[in-house]
A and B are shown apart, each in its own frame.
Chain A
């Protein structure tokens, strides 16, 4: 699957869609494929302040627990509650129904620490 061009990416395989001061975050197709069947997602509480690249949760596959890092800092506005009953949505639709959480951005300059789709493509092929 090609990386959507309208998103930014972290080296830890998260994507972020920025609209104004709102950011929606998920993990990339490469990440979900590497993890395998996802059975549990642990996300930060709504209202929590989080820092860019901070370890803010976990994504668990049948075999393993993986740390989840946030590509941007700010305040958690919403989490994808549907994932509690259906964590496999992250496998099926990582850029759509499998989104993880939304953040009110603290500092839009943090964008410059992220990768474009083209640059992310280079690290998502090993």
Chain B
């Protein structure tokens, strides 16, 4: 669906209105940035659970006998070693090693689901089609299928009564094909908040009923609709990269600290040579975590200084309720400034404010 503003609407647009959402343009869609308050919604996810509409993210179905070997040549992480019903984070790079997109592959029984960032949907669709191989078929479900995430420590208890899958046996980064309120769904134990949780891939026409029934049945337990504002704070606290911030066409996975996802044992994939060379040179600017000393928040684009010299810039920043209310940030910094414990300065409206480099993530949930 689209409007005179040129923005598209997800299947859950009417539900957002009912809950008083504040809508903003995001990835070409009108998306809820918040319903009541970013801080209240953040609190719901950390202590109870929150419900997110992520239908702006694009779902591509990959099908055919050659999907895995084909995808190996386009991505930095391993694909062929994935078990059926396993999910895996993966990054598509350009020849210079910069990131086209960061994604999740879901290996279903008969096909694959690839979830890409909403803002990169068209670019990625073009990229996949430009590199298409024999024995691979692609289908674009962007804007047709919905994606609903339920995230937070109570999400398992809230979701279990309404699905025909044993969620307690569903491991992190695995998924199942089942039903939610009798409607077909891929149910994945994945998320972007640093909490336990599930992502539900459902048909767009079933999404409003699933959304409103989940909220109704769990209102007493504290399930709240949550917007993209809370999601951004949650993911930053959990040290997860956001495309366009910690990863871009210029910022490589090596610079973003995502070497764990880089399988240099794979003989050939786009960007491999550049990434291996960069890793060995080890002289690159890199993404580091910062905690501000004072109360002024660091924001994207602010310059960072070390020893009086400019050494980089803030890529994301926020007040962090789960990090004692301190202001946290990521910055892309010269190597010499990016070591843990280093004190740097952030230029905020012409005044330098001290910050300390800390390891990522800022927040880790109790196991």
Contact = CB atoms under 8 A, between A and B. Distances in A.
Interface of A: 36-37, 39-40, 42, 58, 60-63, 65, 84
Nearest to B42: A62
| Chain B interface extent, by class | 10 to 19
Interface in B228-286: 229, 233
B38 A63 contact: yes
B39 A62 contact: yes
Contact of A62 (B233, B295, B296): B233
The B interface is mostly helix, strand or loop, or mixed, namely mixed
19 contacts: A36-B34, A36-B37, A36-B229, A37-B38, A39-B319, A40-B295, A40-B297, A42-B296, A42-B349, A58-B349, A60-B297, A62-B39, A62-B318, A62-B319, A63-B38, A63-B229, A65-B297, A65-B299, A84-B295
A37 B37 CA distance: 6
B93 interface: no
Interface centre among A36, A40, A58, A62 (most CB of B within 10 A): A62
A33 to B, nearest CB: 10
A60 B319 CA distance: 10
B299 to A, nearest CB: 6
A37 B39 contact: yes
Contacts of B349: 42, 58
Contacts of A65: 297, 299
Interface of B: 22, 33-34, 37-39, 229, 233, 295-297, 299, 318-319, 349
Contacts of A58: 349
Contacts of B229: 36, 62-63
A40 B299 CA distance: 12
A65 B38 CA distance: 15
Contacts of B38: 36-37, 61-63
A39 B38 CA distance: 11
A18 to B, nearest CB: 29
A123 B109 CA distance: 57
Contacts of B22: 36
Nearest to B348: A42
Given A62-B318, A62-B319, A63-B229, A40 B37 contact: no
A60 B37 CA distance: 14
Q: Which 4 A-B pairs have the closest CB atoms?
A: A39-B319, A62-B38, A37-B39, A37-B37
Given A36-B229, A37-B38, A39-B319, A63 B297 contact: no
Nearest to A88: B39
Nearest to B40: A37
A32 to B, nearest CB: 11
